[in-house]
Amino acid sequence: MIRTTGPHKAALKINHFWSFFTELDQAWARIPSYVELLHHFGAEGLRRVRLPMRWLHEEKGVEPDHQAKRVDSEKRRIQECLRSMPPASLAEKALRAYWHQLEARIEAGKTSHTSARLTLRAAATLLLKTHPEGLQLPNQANVENYLVVAPGQAASLTGFINFLNHRYSTELAPKVDSKRVRMMRKEKLARMIMEMADSDAKDEAWMARWVLLGMEYFHNKKVTKKSAVTYELSQAGDGVVAFHAGSRYWLPIK
């Protein structure tokens, strides 16, 4: 610590790290492996003792296992997701039963902790949107309403939908109502454009964002942030003409 932080900081921090070394002695009475440390303290716990971990690595040969660290982080997120359900509710029981199914797939090597965490999060969000107190399971209208707002979650929800159909004899389908999705997106774009129109600072950054939103709203053409700045603009009455790839598009400003 003195070599790394200097004597003053070392004197201030030594008591902070004392409990870490005491726990090592009580748990192992030896230098444990990284995986043992990870299982005992968790990734978050090891982040709080970066300096002792650096010493264990440099002086005692404790090699970090980044894959094990990622898995531990995913496990922690999974537990946070499970705890997000109202305790002892129907929704919590359903989500935990689904997690047991996912856990079996992980142990069989059929899926990863990351994939399981993503699908579990989608399931938890659907359950909470269906009934915040967890007293009801989703019906088809709940599924479709959720997917209108988050159409990209359809694939993540498929496994949970199949689970509900099998376990609770429902007849759900992760259908995305494309027409409603487009309508919701159009309404969102309109709100964003109206907010921008009221802005006084119409600088280059504002114009690039205006092109990005305007091209999608007025011309049904999605533009990336990177390509939005490549459009050549020319004043035209109450708007601008945007030139790109040999085509011209008129965008109102007022």
The per-residue pLDDT string of the chain (254 residues; one tens digit each, 9 = 90 and over) reads: 898 889 998 898 898 899 999 999 999 989 999 999 998 998 888 989 999 999 999 999 999 888 888 898 899 999 999 999 999 999 999 999 999 999 999 999 999 999 999 999 999 999 999 999 999 999 999 999 999 888 889 999 999 999 999 999 999 999 887 888 788 888 888 888 888 887 777 788 888 888 888 888 888 888 887 877 778 878 777 778 888 877 888 888 76
Half-sphere exposure of residue 193: CA atoms within 13 angstroms, side-chain side? 19
Task: Quote the longest CA-to-CA distance of the chain.
Answer: 80
Instruction: Give the span between the Cα atoms of 186 and 214, in whole angstroms.
Output: 11
Instruction: Give the span between the Cα atoms of 237 and 94, in whole angstroms.
Output: 59
**Which amino acid would we find at residue 44?**
E
The sign one gets for the Cα dihedral 17, 22, 24, 27 is: negative
Integer-rounded Cα Rg, in Å, for the chain is 27
Q: What is the pLDDT of residue 101?
A: 96
DSSP 86: P
Contact 86, 92 (CB under 8 A): yes
Q: What are phi and psi of 245, to 5 degrees?
A: 50, 40
Q: What is the pLDDT of residue 88?
A: 94
Instruction: Give the span between the Cα atoms of 62 and 85, in whole angstroms.
Output: 38
Report helix, strand or coil for 113.
helix
